[in-house]
C-alpha cells in the first residue's frame, strides 16, 4: 500500500541510465520528488528530458538504475504504476477522427474509470478546460490550444497522483498558456496532484514550479528552487540561471515533430 503522508516520496530515481547503442541519452541520474510538488525538469534540446519521462512512464526500459513511482517499481509493476500517473506527451496523442468526448471515453475505458462515475468525471473535466460545448466535434477541428487542453483533461480523467507534462504549452498563444498553467496549479493545490513538467519557456517554469531540475548531456547538473538557482548563478531570472549553467552553445539533435511545432510557434509569434 502507498503511504499517504504529505511528505511521501512520489518519484524516486536512482542512478538511472539509458543508452541507445553507443549513445548515452541519460547518464546515472538520481532525484526525488515529494507528493504535491510541482517540479520543472529543464534542459536544452536532446538533454534527456523526454527519455527520462519515457522511462518513468514505462514507455522505455532503462539500461540500468532504479525508479519508483508512488512506491512502485515500473519495471516490476508496470500496470499498477500506469494507473498512478497521467501524461501529456510532447507530441499530440489524440485520435483526430474521434470527438473530444470519444477520446475521453476511450481513455476512461483503458484506465478503468468506473462506468458509473465516468460520464460525470468527463463532464467535470471538459467543463473545467472549457471544452464541454465542443465535446461532439472531432479533435481534428480543434485549435492547438484546445487539443492541449483536451489532452490534459484526458490525462486527469483517472484521477492520477502524478501528472507528467512534457512541453505542454508548445506552440500555444500566451492566453492559452496562462489559462493552462492556472488550471494546472489549481489541480495541484486542490487535489494534491504531483506535477513533473518540462518546458522551454523559462518564465513559465519560474512562475509555476516550486523546484527545478536542470539536465544537460544526460546528467543532472543543478537542482533547487528558481530563487536558489538565481542566487547560485547570480542571475536575475531563471532563464539567466539556465544559460549560466548550460552555456549558450546551440545543441544539435534530430529534427522531430516537436521541433516543427516550435518552429511554427516562432513564426506565429513574429
Partner 1 sequence: MLNVIYILWLRQLKRYMRSRARVISSLAQPLLYLLGMGYGLGPVFQKAGMGSYLQFIAPGLIAMTILFTSVFSGIELIMDRQFGFLKETLVAPVPRLWIILGRILGGATVALLQGLLFLLVCLIAGYRWQALGTLPAFLIMAEIGILFCALGSAIGSVLSDMQGFQLIMGFLVMPLFFLSGAMFPLSNLPKPLTLLTSLDPLSYGVDGLRHCLNGVAHFGLATDLLVLSLVAAALVALSSYLFSRIQV
Chain positions 25 to 44 lying near partner 1, rule: CB under 8 A, are none
Q: Work out the angle between the directed axes of helices 144-156 and 174-191 (0-180°, nearest 10).
A: 10
Q: Which of 92, 90, 204, 198 is nearest to 150 (CA)?
A: 92
Binding piece for partner 1, criterion CB under 8 A, among 21-29, 92-100, 169-177, 262-270 = 92-100
How far is residue 241's CA from residue 190's CA, in Å, rounded to a whole number? 31
Binding residues for partner 1, rule CB under 8 A, total 32
All three cell numbers of 95, joined, read 485520435
Binding piece for partner 1, criterion CB under 8 A, among 52-60, 175-183, 194-202, 224-232 = 52-60
Q: Which of 86, 87, 62 is nearest to 76 (CA)?
A: 62
Report the residue number, 109 or 264, with the smaller CB distance to partner 1: 109
Q: For partner 1, which residue of 40, 42, 72, 94 counts as binding (CB under 8 A)?
A: 94
Q: Judged by CB under 8 A, does residue 253 bind partner 1? A: no
Q: For partner 1, which residue of 3, 15, 64, 109 counts as binding (CB under 8 A)?
A: 109
Could you tell me the CA-to-CA distances from 79 to 3, 32, 83 in Å, in that order?
A: 19, 21, 6
Report the residue number, 155 or 226, with the smaller CB distance to partner 1: 155
Binding piece for partner 1, criterion CB under 8 A, among 9-17, 98-106, 216-224, 239-247 = 98-106
Per DSSP, which regions of the chain are E strands?
9-20, 23-34, 38-42, 64-69, 85-88, 162-166, 194-198, 211-216, 219-224
Report the residue number, 60 or 235, with the smaller CB distance to partner 1: 60
Q: Judged by CB under 8 A, does residue 243 bind partner 1? A: no
Binding site for partner 1 (CB under 8 A): 54, 57-61, 78-83, 85, 87, 89, 91-98, 102, 105-107, 109-112, 154
Amino acid at each position: 500500500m502507498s503511504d499517504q503522508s504529505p511528505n511521501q516520496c512520489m518519484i524516486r530515481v536512482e542512478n538511472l541510465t539509458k543508452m541507445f547503442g553507443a549513445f548515452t541519452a541519460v547518464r546515472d541520474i538520481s532525484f526525488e520528488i515529494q507528493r504535491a510538488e510541482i517540479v520543472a525538469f529543464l534542459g536544452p534540446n536532446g538533454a534527456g528530458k523526454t527519455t527520462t519521462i519515457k522511462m518513468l512512464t514505462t514507455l522505455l526500459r532503462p539500461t540500468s538504475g532504479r525508479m519508483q513511482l508512488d512506491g512502485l517499481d515500473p519495471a516490476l509493476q508496470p500496470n499498477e504504476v500506469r494507473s498512478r500517473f497521467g501524461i501529456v506527451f510532447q507530441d499530440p496523442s489524440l485520435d483526430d477522427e474521434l470527438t473530444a468526448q470519444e477520446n475521453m471515453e476511450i481513455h476512461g475505458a483503458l484506465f478503468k474509470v468506473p462506468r458509473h462515475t465516468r460520464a460525470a468525471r468527463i463532464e467535470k473535466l471538459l467543463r473545467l478546460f472549457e471544452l464541454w460545448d465542443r465535446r461532439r466535434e472531432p479533435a481534428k477541428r480543434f485549435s492547438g490550444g484546445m487539443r492541449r487542453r483536451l489532452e490534459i483533461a484526458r490525462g486527469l480523467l483517472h484521477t492520477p497522483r502524478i501528472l507528467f507534462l512534457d512541453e505542454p504549452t508548445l506552440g500555444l498563444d500566451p492566453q492559452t498558456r496562462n489559462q493552462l498553467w492556472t488550471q494546472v496549479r489549481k489541480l495541484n493545490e486542490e487535489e494534491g496532484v504531483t506535477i513533473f513538467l518540462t518546458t522551454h519557456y523559462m518564465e513559465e517554469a519560474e512562475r509555476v514550479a516550486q523546484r527545478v531540475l536542470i539536465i544537460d548531456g544526460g546528467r543532472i547538473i543543478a537542482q533547487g528552487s528558481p530563487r536558489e538557482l538565481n542566487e547560485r548563478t547570480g542571475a536575475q531570472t531563471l532563464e539567466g540561471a539556465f544559460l549560466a549553467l548550460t552555456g549558450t552553445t546551440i545543441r544539435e539533435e534530430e529534427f522531430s515533430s516537436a521541433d516543427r511545432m516550435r518552429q511554427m510557434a516562432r513564426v506565429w509569434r513574429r
